[in-house]
Structure 1
Amino acid sequence: MYLEIVSPEATLFSGEVDSVAVPGVSGEFEMLKDHAPIVSILKAGNIAINGDVTLHEDVQNKFTKKDGKTLLAINSGTIEMKDNKLIILAD
C-alpha cells in the first residue's frame, strides 16, 4: 500500500510500505493492504511503519528505527485510508 505522511512543514514520507500502526484515540490500530476505507483522529504516540523505508536526508532526524520498524513520534493527527492509499496529516 502507498503511505504519505505530511506535516505542516513538509512531506515527511511517501512510498510503498507493508503495514502501518497508528495511535488512534481509542487505541493503537494497524492497517494492511486492502484495509477497509477509514478516516480517524490520532493522539500523541508513534506511527510505526513496516516495510523497506527510504527516508530523504532532510527528514531522517525525525524518524527512529526499532525492532525492524521505522517510527515517527507525533502529537496528533488525522488519517484517511482509501484504495490502498493511506494519508496521514501529522503534527
Structure 2
Amino acid sequence: MSTFLLEIVTPERIVFSQQVDSVSVRGDEGELGIMAGHLPLVTPLKVAPITIKTGNTATTLAVHGGFVEVQKEKVIILAESAEMSNDIDVERARAARERAERRLSSGGNRDLVDHRRAELALQRAITRINVSSKGKE
C-alpha cells in the first residue's frame, strides 16, 4: 500500500509528522477518507476526532477546527488545537463538558455569541473524552 506524509500542525507546534496509509477527518460536508493519490483539495474541519492508519495500527487524535490541505504527496492539517489521546486530561474535559452543558441549559439572558461559544466548548470536551477513551482500548 502506498503511503503519504501527514503533518498535523497547530499554532504552537507540530503535533504529528510521519508516513501513513490513510487519514479520516470530518469536514463541513461530512466524513472524508484520504489515501495516497487523493485529488488535491482544501476544506475546513469540524471539531471532531481524526483517525490515522499506518499498517495495522490506528491512532485517534482530537482536532478542534482548522483546515486540511491535500497535496500530491503530502497532507497537512492546520488545526486550532490537536491532542493525542494520551495527552488529554479526562477529568478536565469532563468538567468542561459539565460547564458547557450548564451554560446551554440555563435559559437566562444569553446572546448568540455566548451560546455558540458554549456549543463549541461542549463539542471540544466531548471530542476529548471520546478520543481519550479510544486511546485506552
Instruction: Give the TM-score range, shorter chain.
Output: 0.7 to 0.9
Aligned to 2:69: 80
The superposition leaves residues 24-58 of structure 1 with CA deviations (integer Å, 9 ceiling, x where unpaired) of: 11111100000000111001101110005xxxxxx
Q: Distance in 2 between matches of 1:8 and 1:50?
A: 24
Q: Distance in 1 between matches of 2:57 and 2:37?
A: 22
Aligned to 1:34: 37
TM-score by length of 1: 0.79
TM-score by length of 2: 0.53
More helix by share: 2
CA RMSD of aligned residues (A): 1.4
- The yes-or-no answer on 1:69 pairing with 2:58 is yes
Q: Which has the higher contact order (CA 8 A, sep 6+)?
A: 1
Give the letter aligned to residue 24 of structure 1: G
What are structure 2's unaligned runs of at least 5 residues? 81-137
Q: Distance in 2 between matches of 1:35 and 1:84?
A: 9
Pick the structure with greater CA Rg. Answer: 2
Give the letter aligned to residue 82 of structure 1: Q
Instruction: Report sequence identity in percent.
Output: 43
More strand by share: 1
